[in-house]
Amino acid sequence: MSLLVVGTVAFDAIETPFGKTDKIVGGAASYIALASSYFTRDIHMVSVVGDDFPEDFLNLLKKEGVNLEGLQIKKGEKSFFWKGKYHNDLNSRDTLDTQLNVLETFDPIVPESAKECDFLMLGNLVPAIQRGVISQMKKRPKLIVLDTMNFWMDIAMDELKKTIAMIDVLTINDSEARQLSGEYSLVKAAQKILAMGPTVLVIKKGEHGALLFNKKEVFFAPALPLEDVYDPTGAGDSFAGGFIGYLAKTQDISFENMKRAIIFGSAMASFTVEKFGTERLIGLSQSEVDERVQEFIDLVQFDIALV
């Protein structure tokens, strides 16, 4: 089924304990689209770049089934740029530079061809802009997944809550779940957040896996213990892309199927962190993805027969 991805397409410059990069392609929508393209080919993207953005990458997206009609390319302007440095544990980072550039005036316009998409993935953006996208849809998508971050909780909590009230699945990390709910216990936090509107909450815990909650059930997806993690940038977005891509492919939004989708999302994230930027996510074969998913299956497989 058709999937609309909205979010940033940008440049990143990244430094980790294992190396550093010059300007490379990044942005939430880039990771989401690439990860979801392993599951569905009916993808539309709404985003904005300057005319400094490499055509190669856009051609790659097209080749992977991503319709770029909704990508605004601003003549004479520069793409969004973020520069950051990760600390030794890779769990925290400092922003060294942020140049909003085209993002400063970004007004997403959903093209006619994408207004009836069944699945909508809203990558991290200004909450009011995320809401604006929903209002442009001709019919209410079957599933709306929203990613956001602590930054908007700090400066625009009311706006964010309005947006959250309109969606189905919210994906945030554990400290954001605690901030949004005011509860330390993630079980209590989840119930408070689900009372704000979404029917499902995904709490991302990075190297510690992810939790999936609805009002009655909870599911835990582990993260794969990896030999080498080079660059965590884009892990959450690749996770979201794999998650919604799998749901769009299978056309099944039951909680049971979301469990599977979270495993596929975790698998895509596990690839992303193995190299800098989007590199590892490009050109994966079906058997590589399957083998990785099998590792997740094996990782938590046990068999207890309670009498």
As measured in angstroms, the least distance from the Cβ of 97 to its own copies is 26
Q: Which residue has the tokens 């056309």?
A: 251
Q: Does 209 bind its own copies (CB under 8 A)?
A: yes
Other beta carbons within 10 Å of 134: 18
Instruction: Give the strands of the sheet with 43-50, arranged side by side.
Output: 66-74, 43-50, 3-6, 119-122, 143-147, 169-173, 200-204, 210-213, 218-221
Residue 89 near its own copies by CB under 8 A = yes
Kindly state whether residue 290 participates in binding its own copies, applying the rule CB under 8 A: yes
> Dihedral of the CA atoms 66, 72, 74, 79 (nearest 10)?
-60
Told to check if 259 binds its own copies by CB under 8 A, we report: yes
Residues 98/82, Cβ–Cβ less than 8 Å:
yes
Nearest residue (CB) to its own copies, 39 versus 82? 39
* 74 vs 260 by CB, closer to its own copies: 260
Site mask, its own copies, residues 144-183, x = CB under 8 A? Answer: ----------------------------------------
Residue 222 touching its own copies (CB under 8 A): yes
Q: Which is nearer to its own copies, 78 or 259 (CB)?
A: 259
Q: How far is the CB of 292 from its own copies (least distance, A)?
A: 10
DSSP of 189-239, one letter per residue?
Answer: HHHHHHTTS-SEEEEE-GGG-EEEE-SS-EEEEPPPP-S-----TTHHHHH
Q: Is there binding between residue 211 and its own copies (CB under 8 A)?
A: yes
**Under the criterion CB under 8 A, does residue 184 sit at the interface with its own copies?**
yes
